[in-house]
Structure 1
C-alpha cells in the first residue's frame, strides 16, 4: 500500500546538501526543544519559520545536482515553506510547479487542495484532493523531537469537520499516521504502519455517515484504544441532539429537522415542521457545515420554501430562539470536553444573532474581553450552579474523549444548546496579542488531552 514517499537525492548531492545545511538543521533542533518548553511562544515560532525558509533556500543548491525525479521534492519543500508562512498564492504556484515535474506526488496534491480550498477554489481543490487519495491513503508525519507515541488518525478525504488535530497532538512528541479510510479498502487496514493509539478524526457525523459500516468494522477489529469511537460520533447529528439531551435538567435544545430531499410542496414542508415542533423563525444550514457557513434565518414559510427550492440539497432546519441578553447583546459560550470533563474555551459577545468570535467586535470593546476573562477564570461563578451542572451532564451524555458544546444562558439560568459534538475548534493565540489571556486555558485543554492519552496507553 502506498505510504509517505522516502526518496533521497543521489549520494553526492545528498552529502553536499547535508554539509550546506548542517548548521541550520542543528539550529532547528535547538528551536524544537525550546518550543517543547514554550509551545505558544510566538518569537520562537517566527525563528523556526525563518530557519525552515533558510533550509528551503539551501535546497535550491540541489537543483543542478539532483536527478530530475528528485527535483519535485525540492520544489515541494519550497512550496511548503510558503504555505507555513501563510503565503498561499506563492504556495499554490510552487505546488503546481512540483506537480508539473512529478504528477504522482500525493502529498503535493493534498497540500495544494488545502491551499486552494482556503482560497475559495473549491472545484480545483476537489480535483487535487481526489487525486491525492487515489494515489496514497497513508501519510506519516514523524515527530519533530523525541518520539513518544504513534497515533493513527482516521480521516476522510473530504475533511474531518474541524477536529483540531494540530492543537491536541504535539508534533514534537507524536508521530501522526493520517489514514484516508474512505479511499482505502479493508485489506489495507492490516498493512498500516505500527501505531499505539487511534484518534477518530472524522468528527462530523454527516461526513461519517456514508462510512458507518466501514468505520464500525475497523473499530471492532482494532486492538488499540480508539478515541471518539464512531458510534459516539453518530449520536451527535444536529437533528438527534434534542433527543440525546432531552432528559437532562436545565438543558434546552431547539427542535431540528433534517431534510434529505425536497418536500413535495410548501404545504408538505409546513406539515413536517409542525410535526417536529419547529416554529418560525427557522434556521437553515447545509449538512456538514460549521462556523455559520451558508446559515440563513427565515421568518416565513414562503422565504424558506424558496431557499429550499433554490438550494435543492440536504439541509437542517431548526427553530431559532431569540437568545439576546437584557443588555441587547448575544452571547455564545464554548466549553470543551476532554474525557467528558468540561474546560472553558471562549465567550463571544456580539450585536448580531449569528455570533462568531472573529466578527463579534471582541477586540474593540474591553468590557467584552473582561467578561470573557471572568468566564474563563471561574466558569461556575459566571454561569451559575444550574448551568454548570447542566454543562457537566452534557459532557457525560456526549461520551466523547474530545468534544464540546456551544451554548448561551436563558434568563432563568438554563443552558440553551446551539450544538454539541466533536467538531469544536480550539487553537492558541499570539502570546503578545490582545487574546493572549486565552492561552492558559487552551494549555489546560492540551494538558488534559495529553494526560488522557497517556492513561489510555497504560490500559
Structure 2
C-alpha cells in the first residue's frame, strides 16, 4: 500500500530525494555502550570515512550518536547537521522480513535526548521503523516512504519547535494515521505543564517558571524575591537550565548565596525554577516512579529508590540493593491492582489532559495519598537494557510495555486483527 503522492503536503519542490539510508541506530549503539563495549574503534573508522568523503548517510548519523554517547555533544551535533543537510530519511534494523507493519517517525534535528527513543519500543517487534528528520529549511520529500502509521517523535524543546510547527501545518493532509499531535507535544515543557494539569483530583504539581539569567542574578543579590517571580515561590528552590535532560544542572538552592554559587557554575541564559517539595516516604527514602501511557493506559516502567531527592535510576544504585529491587518487582507485578487503582483519578485526569497517544511521566507518592508530578514528556527512555540476571522481573514487564505499544500501532493503522499474528 503506497501513500499518496506528496502533492497534499506543503512546500513540494518537484525534485526527487534519496531513498532511506540504513543505520545501526540509537538502540543498538546505546545498548553496546551501556554493556561496556568500546565504541571508539568504530568512531575512529567512521571519522576516517567522514574526512575522506566516503561515509554513507546512515554511517554519519551513527557517528553523530557515538560522539554524543562518548560525551562530545558539540561534535555529534555538528556531524548530524552536516549529514542532515543532504539526507533526511533513515531506516533502523528490523527483526522481521517482510516487516509486520511500517512506522514513519517524524523527528527533529536535535540531540539524542530530544526525540522519542522509539527504537527501544520496536526493537524486537518486527515493525519497520523509518525516521524522517523534518528540517525547517528543507522541503518535504516528493513522496513519503511507504508506511502504515506515522508518529511525531520531536519534543517540546526550543530546537524542535520549528519542526513541530512544520508538521502541524502538514498533518491535516497526512495520508496515513498520525500519532502524537505536535500541538499537544507543544504543551509539555515544564513551565506549561502546571497550567495544563492544575486542578486534577489527587494530583500535585508545583508551578514552574522560566526565568532569564538576569532574574536569578537579582534573586542572588536579594533585589528580587522568589514571590516576585511566582506567587507561591519560596526557598528552598529547584533550579535547572532550560533544555537540560537527565538531571544535568539540577540543584536545590536553600538561599540567595546558593543561587549565586549556582550561577557561577552554570553560564546558561535561561532556567526553570520551582519550589522544592519534600516527597520523602515514612522510612526517609525518596521514591520516583516512571510510567508510560499508551493509548491512555498507564504502565509501570521503573521505580527508583534512594536517600537523595535528586533521583534518577542510575544514581539510585538499584543493582546494589536486593531490598530495593524486591520493592520494584512488587510495584511492577501489582501495578494494575495497586498503584494504578490507588491513583486512578489522577492518572485518568492527566492522560485526558495531555491527550497524547504515547508519553511518559515521572512522579512520586505524597504522604497524603496524592501523586506528585515531576514531569511529563514524550522522550524519556523506556528500555530493557538492565541485566536480566539482576532484574529478572523487568523482562516480562518491559515485554508487556513493548507489546502494548506495538498493539496500539496496529490498532491505529486499522490492522488490529494482524497484531497477534
Superposition TM-score tier, normalisation by shorter sequence: 0.7 to 0.9
Q: 1:450 maps to what in 2?
A: 406
Q: 1:367 aligns with which of 319, 323, 338?
A: 323
Structure 1 length-normalised TM: 0.77
2:101 is the alignment partner of 1:149: yes
Higher share in helix: 1
More relative contact order, 1 or 2 (CA 8 Å, 6+ apart): 2
Q: 1:376 maps to what in 2?
A: 332
Q: Is the 8 A contact 1:206 1:237 kept in 2?
A: no
Q: Structure 2: how far apart are the matches of 1:404 and 1:273?
A: 32
* 1:376-404 deviation line (CA, Å, top 9, x unaligned): 11125544855233123222221111112
How far off its partner does 1:175 sit? 2.4
Q: Structure 2: how far apart are the matches of 1:173 and 1:85?
A: 27
Q: Structure 1: how far apart are the matches of 2:163 and 2:340?
A: 40
Q: 1:334 maps to what in 2?
A: 290
Q: Structure 2: how far apart are the matches of 1:136 and 1:183?
A: 14
Q: 1:394 maps to what in 2?
A: 350
Q: Is the 8 A contact 2:237 2:253 kept in 1?
A: yes
Q: Is the 8 A contact 1:138 1:177 kept in 2?
A: yes
* 1:11-39 deviation line (CA, Å, top 9, x unaligned): xxxxxxxxxxxxxxxxxxxxxxxxxxxxx
Q: For this pair of structures, how many residues does the alignment match? A: 388
Of residues 315-324 and 120-129 in structure 1, the stretch that sits farther from structure 2 once superposed is: 120-129
Cα–Cα, structure 1 residues 81 and 341, in superposed 2: closer, same or farther, change >3 Å?
closer
Q: Is the 8 A contact 2:156 2:187 kept in 1?
A: no
2:196 is the alignment partner of 1:180: no
* 1:338-391 deviation line (CA, Å, top 9, x unaligned): 011011111111011111222212222222111111111112554485523312
Q: 2:305 aligns with which of 342, 345, 349?
A: 349
2:356 is the alignment partner of 1:417: no
Q: Is the 8 A contact 2:125 2:406 kept in 1?
A: no
Q: Structure 2: how far apart are the matches of 1:179 and 1:377?
A: 37
Cα–Cα, structure 1 residues 165 and 182, in superposed 2: closer, same or farther, change >3 Å?
same
How far off its partner does 1:223 sit? 2.2
Instruction: Look at both structures and tell me which one has the larger radius of gyration over its CA atoms.
Output: 1
How far off its partner does 1:230 sit? 0.3
Residue 135 of structure 2: SS of its match in structure 1?
Answer: helix
Q: Structure 1: how far apart are the matches of 2:276 and 2:261?
A: 19
Root mean square deviation of aligned Cα:
2.9
How far off its partner does 1:260 sit? 4.8
How far off its partner does 1:437 sit? 0.7
**Structure 2: runs of 5 or more not aligned:** 1-16, 23-27, 416-421
Q: Structure 1: how far apart are the matches of 2:291 and 2:72?
A: 33
Q: Is the 8 A contact 1:375 1:381 kept in 2?
A: no
How far off its partner does 1:210 sit? 3.6
Q: Structure 1: how far apart are the matches of 2:304 and 2:31?
A: 33
Q: Structure 2: how far apart are the matches of 1:80 and 1:436?
A: 21
Q: Structure 2: how far apart are the matches of 1:280 and 1:225?
A: 47
2:138 is the alignment partner of 1:122: no
Of residues 366-375 and 170-179 in structure 1, the stretch that sits farther from structure 2 once superposed is: 170-179
Cα–Cα, structure 1 residues 432 and 421, in superposed 2: closer, same or farther, change >3 Å?
closer
Residue 191 of structure 1: SS of its match in structure 2?
Answer: coil
**Structure 1: runs of 5 or more not aligned:** 7-48, 50-78
Instruction: List aligned pairs for 1:43-54, cutoff 5 A.
Output: none
Q: 2:201 aligns with which of 232, 244, 249?
A: 249
How far off its partner does 1:419 sit? 0.8
Q: Structure 1: how far apart are the matches of 2:91 and 2:302?
A: 32
Q: 1:285 aligns with which of 240, 245, 266?
A: 240
Cα–Cα, structure 1 residues 103 and 407, in superposed 2: closer, same or farther, change >3 Å?
same
2:272 is the alignment partner of 1:316: yes
Cα–Cα, structure 1 residues 141 and 345, in superposed 2: closer, same or farther, change >3 Å?
closer
Q: Is the 8 A contact 1:205 1:236 kept in 2?
A: no
Q: Structure 1: how far apart are the matches of 2:31 and 2:343?
A: 46
Q: 2:53 maps to what in 1?
A: 102
Structure 2 length-normalised TM: 0.83
Q: Is the 8 A contact 1:398 1:421 kept in 2?
A: no
